Amino acid sequence: MLKCSTFSSNKTYIVRYFTTFAAPATFPDSDFSDDTQDLVIQDKDLLRKSHHDSGTGLHVLDLIHHGSLEPDRSLYNTLFKKCTLLKKLDEARIIHAHISASLFKDDLVMQNTILNTYCKCGSLDDAHKLFEEMPVKDMVTWTALITGYSQNDQPLNALVLFPQMLRLGLKPNQFTLSSVLKASGTGTSDNYGGQVHAFCFKYGYVWNVYVGSSLLDMYARCGRMEDAWSVFYTLESKNEVSWNAVIAGHARKGEGEHALKMFSGMLRQGFEPTHFTYSSVFTALASMGSLEQGKWVHAHVIKSGGKLVAYVGNTLLDMYAKSGSIDDARKVFNRLERRDVVSWNSMITGYAQHGLGKEAVRWFAEMLRIRILPNEITFLCVLTACSHAGLLDEGQKCFELMKKYSIEPQEAHYVTMVDLLGRAGRLDQAMKFIIKMPIEPTAAVWGALLGACRMHKNMDLGTYAAERIFEFDPHDSGPHVLLANMYASAGRLSDAAKVRKMMKESGVKKEPACSWVETKNAIHMFVANDNAHPQREEIRKVWDEICGKIKEIGYIPDSSHVLFYADQQEREAKLQLHSEKLALAFALMTSPPGFTIRIKKNIRVCGDCHSAFKFASKVVVREIIVRDTNRYHHFRDGFCSCGDYW
């Protein structure tokens, strides 16, 4: 007669055997003997495979199957927890099949545990199948599946289940509501989230820190920061999740100053920033190009003992690259504990933006050499680098290489190829490329061709490209301005006037150009002919002095970049009041000698300013870095990093 019992202690399971006959032959000799003995199953062996092909699949289940171990709910729960922790989906299925033939087959608690395991292991099909087969479901059942869908990027399925649950009269708890709110925040509309907000009020969870944090995160993801703030202030208690949600919301909207202010407030309140916090702040600072603030936050990461892991290191790298310091970006890359495809993409993009195309291509080659698998973003980064540096052959080879990695080119890849060919002066080839594209040319594709035509002064093809763009979006100011500039540069002022008139009649407005510099942790913004800055007179005086000096060494103002009717003298005077020139003069006034000047601009830097800055860098003996919407220009000793290929 066989009797057995189990004891759990220090992550071990002791199976005690009292036998009066030989053990079955199907078990190993080490498991049984003629005498009383204890078999210790350690925690690490709980999911050990069966010894024989005839077993159940797991050794522990073999013991139960042969009567050597009594079925026990706590043991089953432990097995499923182990499967969940280690993401052992196959083992979970084996245990589920075993339980389906046991006394626990209709046990609701056990079924909920299995359902939760499937969800946590990412098998929503198994979870949904079990859900449909369950004869009885409670609130925990519904919450587990809703949470599973929400956490596995299937928000619509989660949102469909919630009203079904309510119709059955089941009351949601904080976990249900948090998961539904997470699902609601993944869409472009917050209509559903607003309804869930009402349920939070109804069931008294609106002040719950977990539900409240999910609620404000939902509003933040939908871009409704005022509502997010309203929820934030009503929370009776806040945690790291609450602060992170608001910081991330501002970061997604490119509101770096607000994100940084919230980060400082979080520190003052005594909350410890998480990896998610730092990642959001670095993302926000990257959008601002705020190098000094970025260095301050980086210093805080170091002081707090944080390591450059996962997305934190990648966002820090990206922040340095987008703030104009590619050298600091490379240092971060070298210190990353693990470099993934995102890390390599960020570096290649950084080199592309800084006009270092050959360096970007070298990094791409090294990436392939060490067998980091490139993705569609990698190829876009390399193509962009080749386009910015005029590396036509390298770019074409890169585009062909996509086939080897079974990556189908997307719209962005085709746009970049048109830009690459166009910048190289291969306008006819670019047009043929567009005609042969397997996708319908978009406004972005024609825009790339229009930009190339502007560069190479091809009026006929440029006009054709502009007309195609107007068909897609007649209210986009960019193509109108490009076309008007083309006409003005060619001296066809009447045609330029017609384009401006068309813009006015259609209500198309050009985005006002502005530039800004950061000094002493403050941002100073300038617009053309700026009369608002309190130091405007001194700023203009400084630029007049610089302008005089750069004219002496060869600078000739290009008044074709001023699109209004006046005599040459007035046009040239207007040209000297462009926002980036005022920003440069202010930076020279407020920074120490030899200090690198960093200027950001919201649109593409104009040709005349580009020429002026080359001469200015030689006169003032400084490096001047200008970041516009396309790239970085490093002006040093009378030259630009773009090699005038922009």
- What whole-number distance in Å separates Cα of residue 180 and Cα of residue 219? 13
Q: What proportion of the chain, given as a percentage, has pLDDT over 90?
A: 53
Is pLDDT of 37 > 50?
Answer: no
**Angle between helix 607-619 and 536-552 (nearest 10):** 80
pLDDT band at 2 (very low <50, low <70, confident <90, very high): very low
At residue 644, the pLDDT reads: 80
- Of 81 and 572, more confident: 81
492-535: pLDDT as tens digits:
777 778 878 877 777 777 778 899 898 877 788 898 877 888 89
Task: Report DSSP letters for 32-99, one per residue.
Answer: --SS-EEEEEEGGGTTPBPSSTTS-SBHHHHHHHTTSS---HHHHHHHHHHHHHHT-HHHHHHHHHHH
117-149: pLDDT as tens digits:
999 999 999 999 999 999 999 999 999 999 999
552-563: pLDDT as tens digits:
999 998 766 555
3-state DSSP call for residue 436?
helix
93 token code pair:
């299925």
DSSP state of 236: S
- What whole-number distance in Å separates Cα of residue 357 and Cα of residue 326? 13
Is pLDDT of 187 > 70?
Answer: no
Beta bridge partners of 14: 7, 40
- What whole-number distance in Å separates Cα of residue 455 and Cα of residue 611? 15
Q: What is the mean pLDDT of residues 96-120?
A: 92
Among the residue ranges 25-29, 72-76, 379-383, the one predicted with the least confidence is 25-29
At residue 266, the pLDDT reads: 94
Cβ atoms of residues 76 and 69 within 8 Å = no
Other beta carbons within 10 Å of 571: 17
460 token code pair:
């006929």
Residues in the chain: 646
Residue 405 backbone dihedrals phi, psi, to 5 degrees? -100, 15
Q: What is the mean pLDDT of residues 616-625?
A: 95
At residue 609, the pLDDT reads: 92
- Of 436 and 190, more confident: 436
- What whole-number distance in Å separates Cα of residue 555 and Cα of residue 550? 5
- What whole-number distance in Å separates Cα of residue 432 and Cα of residue 121? 49
231 token code pair:
């929820």
pLDDT band at 181 (very low <50, low <70, confident <90, very high): very high
At residue 573, the pLDDT reads: 67
pLDDT band at 80 (very low <50, low <70, confident <90, very high): very high
Residue 24 backbone dihedrals phi, psi, to 5 degrees? -60, 150
pLDDT band at 39 (very low <50, low <70, confident <90, very high): low
Is pLDDT of 8 > 60?
Answer: no
- Farthest CA pair distance, the chain: 115
Other beta carbons within 10 Å of 162: 24
Cα within 13 Å of Cα(477), Cβ side? 11
Is pLDDT of 201 > 90?
Answer: no
Beta-carbon contacts of residue 201 (< 8 Å; ≥ 6 apart):
none
46-63: pLDDT as tens digits:
888 877 776 778 878 888
- Of 124 and 455, more confident: 124
Cβ atoms of residues 493 and 487 within 8 Å = yes
